[in-house]
Chain A
Amino acid sequence: MRTLKFILQKEFRQIFRDPAIIRMIFLLPVIQLIILPMAADYEIKNIQLAVADHDHSTYSRQLINKITASGYFKLVDYGNSYRQSFGEIEKDRADLILEIPQQFEKQLVREDASTLFIAVNAINGVKGGLGSAYLRSIIQDYNREVRMQWIQFPKFSPEPTIEITSSNWFNPLMNYKFFMVPGILVLLLTMIGVNLTAINIVREKEIGTIEQINVTPIKKYHFILGKLIPFWILGLVVMTLGFVVARVVYGIIPVGSFATIYIFAAVYLLAVLGLGLLISTYAATQQQSMLISFFIMMIFILMGGLYTSIDSMPEWAQWITRFNPVSYFIEVMRMVVLKGSGLADIKQQLLIISGFAVVLNAWAIYSYRKRS
């Protein structure tokens, strides 16, 4: 116990003496939490629209007005040739072309039907896909309006119509920041846990101090605990800092209790630190450990359910996310922050993360033994 106390004293002294680490721990998370949620907006806005209008009628102008008034589209080119509009796409000035045929209005009035053509620049798939979907729904809306004007309403409508209204539970304003901030906080915590632990231990290998430590009576578990405890504490401090930022900047106050989040985070950090420890046993230099953790973090982030919904992944990919601790914490964070779930609701996730913590740490300690 006494030995552990001295090791911890030394570790904290080293951590607080390194200005780079201090900045990385305290400044970067705050900056990221302020910048990322503002920039990482799910809604696609400013879609550049080029219109090739061969009709130049009242209806066509009404339609274009309706589209631009939606706020999603910016009319960058209005002309009467498809070729000209396609030139805009080629120059990357337009994302979508809407072609309105000749006689659009006449056909609509006489034959009750007309066709419109949408061409999508699919280089940015998300923008193209969402853009054409928005455009389609606006046109449908327009279509309905046109029909409404024509239909003579009888007393009882001959066609039954179903009108859909929806209400957004747990995030009534669909504020995506409520959704992003807790998730980004999880990523920050993971990065700090994995990277700092791995680099710190590998550094001891690089400068040779681990040899010097090994010839002393310090036991392996003293050494490992001496490395894990400081970063465990720092992780919780960073999370607290993150919640302060979330509160001050975004006004996010968890619906559920902080105690639930901290209990889960405490276990989660054990798992993440175990991963850092594991990386450090396999890496011989700081570069190696950086590269390994970078690779793992990429997968964790992209398959964690923050940027793409796990439910929309193919089934094999969903299986992979089950081995990604980040996905559980993001889920729990959202459940507690938005829905107010308690310990009983996150029992399953807590158990799984405990499993991660046990397996990763056991593996790390086993491989640490074998290699020294």
Chain B
Amino acid sequence: MPAVTVDHITKTYGTKKSIVTALDDVSFHVEQGELFGIIGPDGAGKTSLFRILTTLLLADKGNAVVDGNDVVKDYRSIRNKVGYMPGKFSLYPDLSIEENLAFFATIFNTTVSENYHLIKDIYEQIAPFKDRRAGKLSGGMKQKLALCCALIHKPTVLFLDEPTTGVDAVSRKEFWIMLKGLKQQGITILVSTPYMDEASRCDRVALIQGGKILQINTPEGITQQFGRKLFAVKSANMLDLLHQLKSINGVQDAYPFGEFHHVVLKEGVDNITMPPNTVSKEVKPDIEDCFIALMKNNG
């Protein structure tokens, strides 16, 4: 039985005149113990999806099942066994680390010591500050505390909504290592992120844009499906180069990518003559290349 099944979920906001479709006929499923990434830019519908799955929001159409419970009918049992960490820090700023953790443990009818093994690795990092009020913590510490609070009742499924947004590069790396550790304890994790480079750390990812799922696959599977040649090109005048590249026959798309431009060739084209005075090399596509290609195909 999959840990999470999403079946044709549609959610719109607003009234007749200005309807925004946040989720458009979204379906996927997440296996037990999987680390599943939902990757898409801001406004793609990630938070709406999480709020529906954590019973905070009702979908217009479709249904979803989390750990064997329907999100509408059995919302009470879902609330007992999922952990949710919203994108915005939402613990009590006037309570200390220890008090916040103890409060969330007690309202789930458990104690901190009962499930301490789950949070031990994370909690030890913030334990020296346990008497400090949550509002006075740094961004990285707040995030660790929020994760501890979401984990303290031993959830079967953990929902993390953009946990790494606004966190520095080192803390982001640490955070993904923590998630790997949790996955080993058998917890199913759904994590959303706008950062494409984090996709490779998930078991499977769903690329989402404008409320629609573009593709669901393993990170490797997604890059393998790219199916076209990709070059990284660089020259002294990057802006002119971009125009030149776009006008070459056999080029499907060219876009800036870090210090290089990425050039996607049309299907079946193996090579092109690069403009003079350029450095070019063939590169392997990554998730971002795939996302851009998928976005342009659908748009």
Cβ contact within 8 Å between B90 and A207: yes
Which residues on A sit within 8 Å (CB–CB) of B79?
Answer: 214-217
Q: List which B65-80 residues lie within 8 A (CB) of chain A.
A: 76, 79-80
B94's partner among A2, A14, A208, A211 (CB-CB below 8 A) is: A14
| B88 close to A (CB within 8 Å) | yes
A6's partner among B56, B84, B86, B103 (CB-CB below 8 A) is: B103
| A18 close to B (CB within 8 Å) | yes
Query: What's the nearest-Cβ distance from chain A to residue B20, in Å?
Result: 19
Cβ contact within 8 Å between A14 and B95: yes
- Compute how far the CA of A233 lies from the CA of B132 in the bound complex, rounded to whole angstroms: 29
| B106 close to A (CB within 8 Å) | yes
Cβ contact within 8 Å between B108 and A209: no
| B99 close to A (CB within 8 Å) | yes
In this complex, which of B82, B94, B149 has the most chain A Cβ atoms within 10 angstroms of its Cβ? B94
Cβ contact within 8 Å between B90 and A217: no
Which residues on A sit within 8 Å (CB–CB) of B106?
Answer: 2-3, 6
Q: List which A1-43 residues lie within 8 A (CB) of chain B.
A: 2-3, 6-7, 10, 13-14, 17-18
- Asked, given contacts A6-B107, A217-B79, whether A208 binds B86 with beta carbons under 8 Å apart, the answer is yes
Cβ contact within 8 Å between B107 and A212: no
Give the A-B contact count at a CB cut-off of 8 A.
Answer: 61
A215's partner among B55, B91, B93, B95 (CB-CB below 8 A) is: B55
- Asked, given contacts A216-B104, A217-B76, A217-B80, whether A2 binds B109 with beta carbons under 8 Å apart, the answer is yes
Which residues on A sit within 8 Å (CB–CB) of B55?
Answer: 214-215
Which residues on A sit within 8 Å (CB–CB) of B103?
Answer: 6, 10
Query: What's the nearest-Cβ distance from chain A to residue B228, in Å?
Result: 43
The size bracket of the interface on A is: 20 to 34
- Compute how far the CA of A216 lies from the CA of B149 in the bound complex, rounded to whole angstroms: 11
Which residues on B sit within 8 Å (CB–CB) of A317?
Answer: none
Cβ contact within 8 Å between A215 and B84: yes
Cβ contact within 8 Å between B95 and A13: yes
In this complex, which of A3, A7, A212 has the most chain B Cβ atoms within 10 angstroms of its Cβ? A212
In this complex, which of B91, B94, B99, B107 has the most chain A Cβ atoms within 10 angstroms of its Cβ? B107
Cβ contact within 8 Å between A209 and B56: no
Cβ contact within 8 Å between B99 and A13: yes
Which residues on A sit within 8 Å (CB–CB) of B92?
Answer: 10, 14, 207, 209
- Compute how far the CA of A207 lies from the CA of B146 in the bound complex, rounded to whole angstroms: 14
Cβ contact within 8 Å between B56 and A214: yes
Interface string of B88-127 (1 = CB under 8 A from A): 1111111100010001101111000000000000000000
| B188 close to A (CB within 8 Å) | no
- Compute how far the CA of A369 lies from the CA of B212 in the bound complex, rounded to whole angstroms: 30
| B156 close to A (CB within 8 Å) | no
Which residues on B sit within 8 Å (CB–CB) of A2?
Answer: 106, 109
Which residues on A sit within 8 Å (CB–CB) of B107?
Answer: 3, 6-7, 213, 216-218
Query: What's the nearest-Cβ distance from chain B to residue A12, in Å?
Result: 12
Query: What's the nearest-Cβ distance from chain B to residue A221, in Å?
Result: 14
Which residues on B sit within 8 Å (CB–CB) of A209?
Answer: 90-92
- Among residues of B, the one whose C-beta sits closest to the C-beta of A214 is B56
B84's partner among A10, A14, A212 (CB-CB below 8 A) is: A212
- Compute how far the CA of A213 lies from the CA of B90 in the bound complex, rounded to whole angstroms: 10
- Among residues of B, the one whose C-beta sits closest to the C-beta of A17 is B94
Cβ contact within 8 Å between A207 and B93: yes
- Compute how far the CA of A7 lies from the CA of B108 in the bound complex, rounded to whole angstroms: 12
- Compute how far the CA of A3 lies from the CA of B109 in the bound complex, rounded to whole angstroms: 8
Cβ contact within 8 Å between B95 and A208: no
- Compute how far the CA of A3 lies from the CA of B108 in the bound complex, rounded to whole angstroms: 8
Q: List which A307-326 residues lie within 8 A (CB) of chain B.
A: none
Query: What's the nearest-Cβ distance from chain B to residue A90, in Å?
Result: 57
| B54 close to A (CB within 8 Å) | yes
Query: What's the nearest-Cβ distance from chain A to residue B94, in Å?
Result: 5
Query: What's the nearest-Cβ distance from chain A to residue B34, in Å?
Result: 21
Interface string of B52-65 (1 = CB under 8 A from A): 00111000000000
A211's partner among B56, B104, B109 (CB-CB below 8 A) is: B56
A208's partner among B90, B104, B149 (CB-CB below 8 A) is: B90
Query: What's the nearest-Cβ distance from chain B to residue A60, in Å?
Result: 72
- Among residues of A, the one whose C-beta sits closest to the C-beta of B104 is A216
Residues of B whose CB lies within 8 Å of any CB of A are 54-56, 76, 79-80, 82, 84, 86, 88-95, 99, 103-104, 106-109, 149
Query: Known pairs A10-B92, A14-B95, A212-B84. 4 more at Cβ < 8 A?
Result: A6-B107, A209-B92, A216-B107, A217-B80
Residues of A whose CB lies within 8 Å of any CB of B are 2-3, 6-7, 10, 13-14, 17-18, 207-209, 211-218
For this complex, 11 residue pairs linking A to B, each with C-beta atoms less than 8 Å apart, are A3-B107, A10-B95, A14-B94, A208-B88, A212-B91, A212-B149, A214-B55, A214-B56, A215-B54, A216-B104, A218-B107
Closest 4 CB pairs of A and B: A208-B90, A6-B106, A215-B84, A212-B90
